[in-house]
Amino acid sequence: MGQKNRIQDASKCVHCHLCQKNCVFLKKYGIDIKDTDRLSELAYHCFLCGRCTEVCPAGIDGRGVIMDMRRRHVAGDGGAFVSRRYKRTVSEKQDYLYRNYKHGTKKRVLFPGCNFPSVYPKTTKTLVKLLEEQAGIGVIYECCGKPIADLGMEQQEKAVIQGIEKRLKERHVEELILLCPNCYEYLKPRISLKVTNIYEVLTELGIGFKAAGGARMFRPCPDREKGEWLASITPFLEKPCEPVTEIQCCGLGGCAGVEEPELSKGFARKLKNIPETIYTYCGSCAGQLTRNGCRQVRHILPEILGIPEKPDTVKSLINRMKTKYL
Ligand code: SF4
Ligand code: SF4
C-alpha cells in the first residue's frame, strides 16, 4: 500500500495507455498524460482522483501534472475563468461563509469539514456532544480550502491556510480531529498543529460499535494508496470488506462535474446494482453516490456510532448553512 516516488514530467510517458484505460475522462478524449496540449485545454474536466498516477509504470503523477496546468491557467488569466465558471464554490469556500469557531477554544477540536455536516447533520451533532461530554473536545466548522486549491488558485489557497492557522493559534488549539480523508490529506502537510483522524480518537476513548460484515468498501481517493484511514477503521469492522474497484472515484473531485456532468453522474450508476451495502468513509463520496442513484451507500461513522442516518442529499446546503449558528 506504500506510495511510490512520483515525477511530474509528462515527457517520460511511454504511451502505454494504461492511464487512459483506467480513466473515463482520458478515454472519452482518447488522450494520455503526455498529450499535454489537449490535456491542458481539458484540465478542468479531470476528477483529480489520482488513478492515472497509481497505474503509471513510468511513475508519472498525472494528477500533479494536471494540477500544475490548472495553476498555470489561473496565473495566466488572473483567475477570471474559475471565478466565472465556479462562482458558487469560490464565493462559498474562499472565505468560508459558514465558518463557526464559537466552540473552538479547547486544546483538541473536531474539524468536521464542510461536507460531512451537510449530509450527516444528526451524526455530526451527536458526535460533537459525545466528544465534548467524554473528553472535553471542542468543534470548529470550517472549510479546509481544498476546493479552492483544486481549482488552481494558489494565492487564495495559501491565504485560506494562513487564516485557519491564525484562528486556531489565537484559540490555543493544539490538535485537529478530522472526519474527512480529503481534509486530512490536504491539511496535514500544510498546518503546524497535530492532525488526527476520528477513528483513532474513538479507539482511544473506547467509543463505537462494530459495523456489520458482508459489505463492500468504497475507498475515497486520498486514502487509496496509503490506506491510513482504512487501517484505523478496520478494528470497527466485523470482518474485512471486499473493495469496490468498479469505478475510479465518486465523481465529485476536482469540480469536474461542471465540465463533465454525465461522466460525474455515471460512476454511481455503475454501482447501483451491487446487492451488498457499500461502506465508505468520506461524506462527499457518500453524498455524491447516493445523489446519483446508489442508494445502498452508508458512511461507516454513523454505523460505528449506532446512528441510523442515511445521507441527506436534499437539504445538504441548508444543513451546511446551519453550522454557522450551532
Ligand atoms: S486524476 Fe483521475 S480523472 Fe484525472 S486524468 Fe488522472 S485518472 Fe483521469
Ligand atoms: S500510464 Fe504513464 S506511461 Fe502510460 S500512457 Fe499514461 S502517463 Fe504515459
What residue ranges do the domains of the chain occupy? 10-78, 94-205+314-325, 216-305
Bin 252: left if φ > 0, else alpha if -120 < ψ < 50, else beta: alpha
- Give the residue-averaged pLDDT of 22-44: 97
Query: Ligand 2: distance of its center to the CA of 56 in Å?
Result: 5
Distance CA 275, CA 280 (A): 15
- Give the residue-averaged pLDDT of 57-82: 97
Q: The C-alpha cell of 299 is what?
A: 458512511
pLDDT category at 2 given cuts 50, 70, 90 is very low
pLDDT tens for 252-271 read 999 999 999 999 999 999 99
- Ligand 1 pocket member 230 (CB < 6 A): no
Q: Counting atoms of ligand 2 from 1, which one is nearest the CA of 26?
A: 6
- Ligand 1 pocket member 46 (CB < 6 A): yes
Q: Counting atoms of ligand 2 from 1, which one is nearest the CA of 14?
A: 3
Ligand sitting nearest the alpha carbon of 26: 1
Ligand sitting nearest the alpha carbon of 32: 2
- Ligand 1 pocket member 23 (CB < 6 A): yes
Query: Ligand 2: distance of its center to the CA of 55 in Å?
Result: 8
pLDDT category at 1 given cuts 50, 70, 90 is very low
Could you write out the DSSP letters of every residue in 4-39? PP-B--GGG-----HHHHT-HHHHHHT--TT-HHHH
Place of cell 483506467: 22
pLDDT tens for 165-174 read 999 999 999 9
Which residue from 23, 24, 42, 263 has its CB within 8 A of the most atoms of ligand 1, so it is best to mutate?
A: 23
Q: How many CA atoms lie within 13 A of 18 on its CB side?
A: 16
- Give the residue-averaged pLDDT of 4-27: 93
Using CA atoms, how far residue 220 sits from 15, 224, 308, in Å, is: 27, 6, 22
Query: Ligand 2: distance of its center to the CA of 188 in Å?
Result: 29
CA neighbor of 104 nearest in space, from 162, 164, 59, 24: 164
Q: Taking a C-beta distance cutoff of 8 angstroms, is the pair 239, 212 a contact?
A: no
- Give the residue-averaged pLDDT of 9-13: 92
pLDDT tens for 149-198 read 999 999 999 999 999 999 999 999 999 999 999 999 999 999 999 999 99
Which CATH entry fits the domain spanning 10-78: 1.10.357.10, 3.30.70.20, 1.10.1060.10, 2.40.50.60? 1.10.1060.10
Ligand 2, pocket residues at CB < 6 Å: 13-19, 32-34, 55-58, 60, 62
Distance CA 9, CA 28 (A): 23
In this structure, which residue's CA is closest to atom 2 in ligand 1? 49
Query: Ligand 2: distance of its center to the CA of 253 in Å?
Result: 21
Please provide residue 223's backbone torsions phi and psi, each rounded to the nearest 5 degrees.
-105, 5
- Ligand 1 pocket member 52 (CB < 6 A): yes
CA neighbor of 180 nearest in space, from 129, 123, 116, 273: 116
Q: Taking a C-beta distance cutoff of 8 angstroms, is the pair 6, 53 a contact?
A: yes
Q: What is the mean pLDDT of the chain?
A: 95
Query: Ligand 1: distance of its center to the CA of 20 in Å?
Result: 9
Amino acid identity for residue 24 in this structure: V
Which CATH entry fits the domain spanning 94-205+314-325: 3.30.1560, 3.40.50, 1.20.1740, 3.30.2320? 3.40.50
CB-count burial class (<10 Å; 0-12, 13-18, 19+) for 239: exposed
Amino acid identity for residue 258 in this structure: V
Element spanning 109, H or E: strand 108-111
In this structure, which residue's CA is closest to atom 3 in ligand 2? 13
Q: Taking a C-beta distance cutoff of 8 angstroms, is the pair 82, 151 a contact?
A: yes
The DSSP 8-state label assigned to residue 107 in this structure reads: S
In this structure, which residue's CA is closest to atom 6 in ligand 1? 52
Distance of CA 191 to the CA centre of its chain: 17
Ligand sitting nearest the alpha carbon of 43: 1
In this structure, which residue's CA is closest to atom 2 in ligand 2? 56
How many CB atoms are located within 10 Å of the residue 245 CB? 9
